Chains A and B, each alone.
Chain A
Amino acid sequence: MIRLHRVSKSFGSVRVVDDVDLTIAKGELVALLGPSGGGKSTLLRIIAGLETADAGEVWIDDVRANDLEARQRRVGFVFQHYALFRHMTVADNVEFGLRVRGVDPAERRRRAEALLDLVGLQGLGDRYPSQLSGGQRQRVALARALAPEPGLLLLDEPFGAVDAKVREELRVWLRRLHDRIGATTIFVTHDREEAFAVADRVVLVRHGRIEQVGTPVEVLDEPATEFVAGFLGEANHFEAELVDGMLQIGPMRLPAPDPTHAGPLRVVVRSYDLKIWAQEPGVGVVDRVIPLGDRVRVESTLDGGVPLLAHFPRRSSLLRDVTPGARINVEVTQLRAWPAAASP
C-alpha cells in the first residue's frame, strides 16, 4: 500500500507538487494522468526516492519512506527512455539488481532467464541494448525492474518513446503482466486512452495538484472539475449566463443543471455529447468537415463567433447536407457546468 500525506515539492520558485494526498491499495494498477509539466513524474520520483519531498510524508507498506534511500525502498522504476546499462548485455542488465544484493551467479542467471521469458525476450540475453528495438528495450527495462522482486512498480511514461502501434501492444501486455504478477503499479502518462486501457483507477494531476481520483468510468461520467471534463475527451468550453433559469451560450438556450445559481458559469460539452444537423435559419454555420476514419469531425461557428466542435460516426444520417457553409441547428444531449470563478 502507498500513502502520500500532504506531499509538496518545489523547484526554485515553482511548486511542482502541491499538497498531494493519495492512497493506493496493494495490487492496484493506477495511472497518474495529466498534461506535461503537471508534476506527475515528480510525484512518481518522490515515491521512488529519486527526489526528496519538501514537505509531507510518503508511506510504503506502513513504513515511513521519507527516511529511506531509493535503494532501500524495494521499488522497481522504469524510465521513459529505458535507461538500460549500455555497456552490459541484456542478461547482465536484468541480473544487476540481484548482483548488487549478492545473489549467487547460478541463481541470478536462472531468474534473469525466467524474467526474459516472462517479457517475451527469451534468447536475447546476450545482446546489447543498442541491438534491440524500442519496444524490446522497454521490456528489458521492465524485466530488470522486476528482478529484485519489488513491492512496488513505478513506470514513468513507459511507452512514450515507442511508436504508436508498439505502444498499443505494450499496453495490453502490461495489463496482462500486472494481472499475472500482481505488484502494486503506478504509471505516469499524458495519454488518456493509455490510462483507461491499462489502469484500475486514474489520478488526474494538474499544476501539481490532484484534480480527481476514480475508475475510468467514474472520471469520465462524473468529472469533478472543468479541467477533468475537458481533458478526458475533446470538448467545447463555453462561458454562459443564466437567463430566466436557462443557460445562454451565444444564440443557444439550454436547460440549466442548477437554475438557482447566480453569476457566470463555465460549461463543458464533449464533442460527442451534441448533435448538429443542417437547417435554415439555424444558429451557426459549418466551417470544416474532416473525415477521421470511423469518425467525422465537424468544426462550426455559432452566430456571435463562438466556435463549436462535434464528432459523429462516419455514417451518421445527421451528416446529410452538413457541408462547409451550411446553416446548422444544435442540440446538446449532455453538459456540465461550474461556477466561473471556481475553475479558471
Chain B
Amino acid sequence: MSSRSRPMQPWLPRVAFLYAALLILLPLAALAYGVAEHLGGTWRALTSGPALDALSRTITLATIALAVHLVLGVMTAWVVVRDDFFGKRALVWLADVPLAMSPITIGLAFFVVFGREGWLYPLFTQLDLKVVFAFPGLVLVTLFVTLPFMIREVVLLLEDLGTSEEEAAATMGASPWQVFVHITLPNILPALTSASALVVARALGEFGAVLVIGGAISGETDTATTFVFHAIEERQLPAAYGMSMVLVALSVAAFATFSALRRKVRS
C-alpha cells in the first residue's frame, strides 16, 4: 500500500538521524552550553546598549523585509503567473538570482552601485540620502537576499491553483480586486505564512552583505550578526554565545508563529 509497509534497511533511519543530529543538534547544544556556562556574563552583554541597539536594528530589518515582500513579492508573483508579457521568464529567473549569489558578493555589488565611486552616488548625494554605511543600505541588501523566498513560494502555489476559481468569481460579477481579496488571497495564505517564516529567518541571519554595505558601525549599522562577529573577534565569548542564541530563538519563534498561523488558515 504505502511505502511504509515496504521493509527497509534497518540502519537507514539511524544514518539519517545521525546525519541530521550531528550537523544540527551538536552545534546548537554547544551554543546552549556556552550560554549556560557564562550565564551572568551573557545577560550583562545582552542587556548592554550596543547589543540591544544591534538586535533592534535586525528585528526592524526583518520586519521591513517581510512587509515589503508581502506586498511587492506577492504582486510580482501574481503578475508573473497570471499575466502574459515579454520578459516574463526572465523575471522568474531574475527572482532566483539572490539564491545563487554569495552575500558578500551582493554587498560588494551594492557598494559598486551606491559607494563613493558608484554609479548612483551623485544622484543619492543630491537627494541627501546616504546608502552605504547607513541604514538604507542595510534595508536594500536585506530585501535583496530575501526576495526569492516569497516569490518562489507564491509562484508555485498560484501555478498549482490554476485560474478557474478566479474565472468563476469574475463571471459572478466580482471585480479584479474582489477576486484577489476573496478568492486568490485566501487560497495563497498557506504559502504566505511559510514564505514569511523563510523571509524573517533569512533576514535575521544575514551577515556578509550587511557587513560590506553597512560596515557594522556601532550605533549606526551594527546588526545582531555583525555584533556576534565583533564579539568573537574581541574574545567576548559570553556576548557572542548570547546573541547567537537570541538569533536562533527568534528564528524558531518565527517558524513556530507562522506554522501556527498556517494551521489556523487551513482549518
Contact = CB atoms under 8 A, between A and B. Distances in A.
Partners in one complex: yes
Interface of A: 48-50, 69-77, 79, 81, 83-87, 96-97, 99-101, 141, 144-145, 147-148
Interface in B143-185: 164-165, 167-175, 178, 182-183
Contact of B172 (A79, A81, A86, A97): A97
Contacts of A96: 169, 172, 174, 182
Contact of A85 (B170, B173, B183): B183
B134 to A, nearest CB: 44
27 contacts: A49-B171, A70-B167, A71-B170, A71-B172, A71-B173, A72-B173, A73-B171, A74-B173, A76-B171, A76-B172, A77-B168, A79-B168, A83-B164, A83-B168, A84-B165, A84-B168, A85-B165, A85-B168, A87-B186, A96-B182, A97-B172, A100-B169, A100-B178, A100-B182, A141-B168, A144-B168, A145-B171
Given A72-B173, A96-B182, A99-B182, 14 more contacts: A50-B171, A73-B171, A74-B173, A77-B168, A83-B164, A85-B165, A85-B169, A85-B182, A85-B183, A86-B187, A87-B187, A100-B175, A145-B171, A145-B172
Top 9 nearest A-B pairs (CB, nearest first) are: A97-B172, A83-B164, A77-B171, A100-B174, A83-B168, A87-B186, A70-B170, A71-B173, A79-B164
Nearest to A101: B173
Contacts of A79: 164, 167-168
A79 B169 CA distance: 12
Given A85-B183, A87-B187, A96-B182, A148 B172 contact: yes
Contacts of A145: 171-172
A49 B164 CA distance: 13
Q: Which of B164, B170, B171, B174 has the most CB of A within 10 A?
A: B171
Interface range, B side: 10 to 19
Contacts of A77: 167-168, 171
B182 to A, nearest CB: 7
Nearest to B164: A83
B123 to A, nearest CB: 41
Contacts of A69: 170
Contacts of A147: 172
Nearest to B187: A87
Contacts of B167: 50, 70, 77, 79, 83
Nearest to B161: A86
Contacts of A99: 182
Interface string B174-216: 1100100011001100000000000000000000000000000
A277 to B, nearest CB: 53
B171 A71 contact: yes
Contacts of B173: 71-72, 74, 97, 100-101, 148
A86 B190 CA distance: 13
A79 B182 CA distance: 19
